[in-house]
Chains A and B, each alone.
Chain A
Amino acid sequence: MEEQHIEEMKKKVIEAVSKCRICMSCYADCPLYESTRGFVTQGPSGITRALYYGIRWDALDGKDGQDLRDILYACTTCGSCEVRCKKSACNIPLVEIIETGRKLLVEKMVGPMPKQIKVLESLDRNGNPYGEPAEERTQWLGSIDPQDTAKIKLVQGDLKTETLLFVGCTSSYERDLVNVPGSIVKIFNHMGVDYGILKDEKCCGDPALRLGEAGLFEEMAEKNTKVFEQAEIKRIVTISPHCMSSFSQDYPDLPNNITIQHYTEFFAEQMSAGNLKPQKSLKKKVTYHDPCYLGKHNDIYETPRQILTWIAGDSFVEMEHNREQALCCGGGGGRMFVEIEEIERLSEKRVQQALDVGAEIIATACPWCYSQIADGIKTSGNEGKILVKDIAELIAESL
């Protein structure tokens, strides 16, 4: 059965890659190709062709398998190549092919990258990719205003909630990000939303999926789906676009009656309905970095901008590369957990693009983008010149 599944995956790759005409258009927007040495296998169709030949040559293990692993796992899965291919070429599902290749390498026990194995182990053991103890997941609540904490329904056992705030692993454990879930809680409480968070929240499984560990992902999806059903959840609001994307696109059995929303969609709706009104406008010049899993993967480009326009008015400026053309921060596709050689750091490049339009704040709406950009500001020596903020923080500050 397992062998049959492997053969099906191989067939799927061969069929999909055969439709690519190697026009190379996908290289025009690939952040990996742009930031590395520029070998052909460091760009989209080069990666998928490598996989194609890996299968054709029966070279998925041994030295070839390791070379192929290094090629496949360097991709940020940002989806820029797919946007370009759809626009100018054959509409090849390049990211899906790359992720299928990763699954094949995991089956062959060649993938993921050595440092990423710990991530999978931690997901399995602790329910988060960072090796953090599961029982410390809600410790961030201790860092926010106790008045806000008091209003949060901690869902467990028989307790139900219609609206669930899915905090996600990075927002839960990353100390520098504690203000992000804190801000969302503050806004929810300000609006009087009846909501809860899971006392024993576990990772959505996105890292397992992106790293090719399909079995672990399915297991995590199944467990989370059961939890959502037991708590009779009707709406899940996520902080991370990656969680949102996994729930809405990859969870096989999530009931249809559960609405999945990224928090920017939820707040934009509330702002449109007049339930959320910024009281203070932002005076600093702010720009917006599109997270790939919000924009390119889920077509959500405008709602974050609506919010920023409400808050900042004319102080909101676009970077040269925005929406579909936005540069990836470099943190997706499992790259948060491994150092990939970059000649030019994507996050530093993005910071420079923001500085070029005179921005004082880079707003974003993804914990990984936030971390990457914060690092980019430090490593490029631009501390004090520009700040990264999550949109949630900006809304909370405006109330």
Chain B
Amino acid sequence: MIDSEQICTKIVEGLEEVLEKKYISINRFERMANALIPFPYDIEEKQMPYAVVMPRTADEVSGIMKFANKEKIPIFVRGSGTQLAGSSRPHTHGIVLNVHRLNQFEVYEDYGYMECGPGCVVAQLDDALAELGYYFPFHPGSRIIANMGGVVSNNTSAHMIDTCVGKPGDYILGVEAVLPNGDIIETGTKGFRRPAGTDLTKFFVGGDGLLGVITKIRMRLAPGFKRARGIAVFEDLKALARGVQRMYREKRPAPMLMEFMEKEAAKIGYEIKGLPEPKGSAIFFVSVGSTEEEASSKLNQVLESFQAENPVEAYEVKDLDVWEKLWGAREVIGSFLMQKSGHQWKAAEVVCNLKDLEEGIVAAKNFNADMPSISKLPLYLYGHIGALSMHPGILIPSDWNDEMQKNALDEIFQKEARLNVQYGGCGGEWGQFSKRKDFFVQRYGEAAYAFVNTIKKAADPNNILNPGILEGYR
């Protein structure tokens, strides 16, 4: 049996022909760092990567995939490593393909699209497009560091509301991808009309990284718009949910962003920002239009629906300084609680159907009540209520040992699965598999899971690319 050091050396020798040696690392610390994600427990010895490679081109990615297939060494693709359901964590030994250097970016205004590599940082693209008068339809909480490859592979619009903005896939015209066998393909179109019938783009956008390595993303440019900002505070959490139900049932134009904080979370957020204590749970939202009047008009239509549920207050926020504080209150809540307690913040993603939202929000509020190991830990509820998406956030003590942390996280994902099955929703931010594999099977059945496995096997017979995501793991 050959030891890992020999395999590491073999990898370096094998890949030296594919990319510059300085972009292949077998440094022990670098290998470990590329296996870590925001999970509060160590990786196991069997998950330690053999090497980390940082290709610059699709050809280099192709060479790496061919080498990996020949040598039967798994490849784990990594962006910024911020995904919260475990997809960036290697399941076994293998090579981590870090996409950091696949970060080319070009705007083709004449064609009406931009192209970028999977290593581009969301916030940097957002800023660059905003400067040209375009808007960027993704807003993950980790946007300052999140990579486009992850956003697209998960098809996450994160904080943005699907009913207003859609999903990344609605903007992506095509991709360049390297298949598990090393073949490079291009999908989609350079025009605005996307293919009718088979559109291979869909195998990769929201493909959980199972079928290929995205090396280029082509996305249409969307014109920027004006914004109006509003707030509504409800004494009763159920009334807040009814307000959102009413907004949809009364056919109001869905806002681009609609966040909420349950009363206890809002209290803390407001206090940090020096705002007077809120008299209930709060919704903050942003409506958009091609003019300020249109945005304001849409916002006020939403406010009309909210008014019918007797909020403590509901109004359009015109003072941007006040708005910054209100929005900031939502943004800092997790970090503040972590700093104050020294504990780690872990959240689930409970997504409800519209009809049951009133019941679902209470279930999310009581998320940990029946969970043996974490029932006594403090829980704060917040989320993207316009997308009917709720994050029960729990503070897990940092001094818990790995096994306790692992159990707590598993319990959180199991409970999330149970509630999402019960309320007919599904996670819309962090992918479908890895820690969520059980949900997929429960929600869609064994036949659906077997079907995905069949597709994966056809595309990747050696299971070289990102093994473990589909299988799920602890």
Contact = CB atoms under 8 A, between A and B. Distances in A.
B101 A90 contact: no
A104 interface: no
Interface string B32-70: 111011111000000000001010000000000000000
Contact of A27 (B32, B52, B80): B80
Interface string A150-184: 00000000000000000000000000000000000
Interface string B138-150: 0000101100000
A336 interface: no
B27 A67 contact: yes
B81 A22 contact: yes
Contacts of B30: 39-41, 46, 50
Contacts of A24: 38, 80-82, 142, 145
Contacts of A40: 30, 33-34, 52, 81, 98
A338 interface: no
A89 B338 contact: yes
Contacts of B34: 40
Given A21-B338, A25-B142, A28-B144, A41 B54 contact: no
Given A39-B52, A49-B33, A28 B123 contact: yes
Which of A18, A21, A37, A71 counts the most B-chain CB atoms under 10 A from its CB?
A21
Nearest to A27: B145
Contacts of B81: 22, 24, 40
Nearest to B37: A22
B249 interface: no
A101 to B, nearest CB: 11
Contacts of B54: 37-39
Nearest to B20: A37
B344 interface: yes
Given A37-B22, A39-B52, A22 B38 contact: yes
B353 to A, nearest CB: 31
Given A22-B37, A28-B123, A49-B32, A37 B23 contact: yes
Nearest to B121: A28
A383 interface: no
B29 interface: yes
A46 B35 CA distance: 11
A28 B332 CA distance: 17
B29 A68 contact: yes
Contacts of B25: 39
B142 A23 contact: yes
A19 interface: yes
At the interface, is chain B mostly helix, strand, loop or mixed?
A: mixed
B335 A87 contact: yes
Q: Size range of the interface on B?
A: 35 or more
Given A38-B54, A49-B32, A23 B22 contact: no
A89 B123 contact: no
A25 B145 contact: yes
A24 B32 CA distance: 15
Contacts of A91: 335, 339
Contacts of A71: 29
B72 interface: no
B38 A67 contact: no
Contact of B28 (A22, A46, A67, A90): A67
B284 interface: no
Interface string B85-126: 000000000000010110000000000000000000101000
A37 B30 CA distance: 12
Contacts of B28: 53, 57, 59, 64, 67
A124 B144 CA distance: 43
B31 to A, nearest CB: 9
Contacts of A86: 339
B430 interface: no
A88 interface: yes
Interface string A61-105: 000100110010000000000000011111100000000000000
A313 interface: no
A43 B342 CA distance: 22
Which of A24, A40, A68, A71 counts the most B-chain CB atoms under 10 A from its CB?
A40
Nearest to A46: B33
Contact of B144 (A19, A25, A54, A68): A25
A88 B141 CA distance: 10
B344 A21 contact: yes
A59 B28 CA distance: 10
Contacts of A59: 28
Nearest to A68: B29
Interface of B: 22-23, 25, 27-30, 32-34, 36-40, 52, 54, 80-82, 98, 100-101, 121, 123, 142, 144-145, 331-332, 335, 338-339, 342, 344-345, 398-399
**Which 9 pairs from chain A and chain B are nearest by CB?**
A50-B29, A40-B33, A28-B144, A38-B100, A46-B33, A91-B339, A90-B338, A41-B30, A24-B145
Given A37-B54, A53-B29, 12 more contacts: A19-B338, A19-B342, A23-B82, A24-B80, A39-B54, A46-B29, A46-B33, A50-B29, A64-B29, A67-B28, A88-B331, A91-B335
20 contacts: A21-B345, A23-B142, A24-B80, A24-B142, A27-B80, A38-B100, A40-B34, A40-B81, A41-B29, A41-B33, A46-B29, A46-B30, A46-B33, A49-B29, A50-B30, A50-B33, A53-B29, A68-B29, A87-B332, A91-B335
Interface of A: 18-19, 21-25, 27-28, 37-41, 46, 49-50, 53-54, 57, 59, 64, 67-68, 71, 86-91
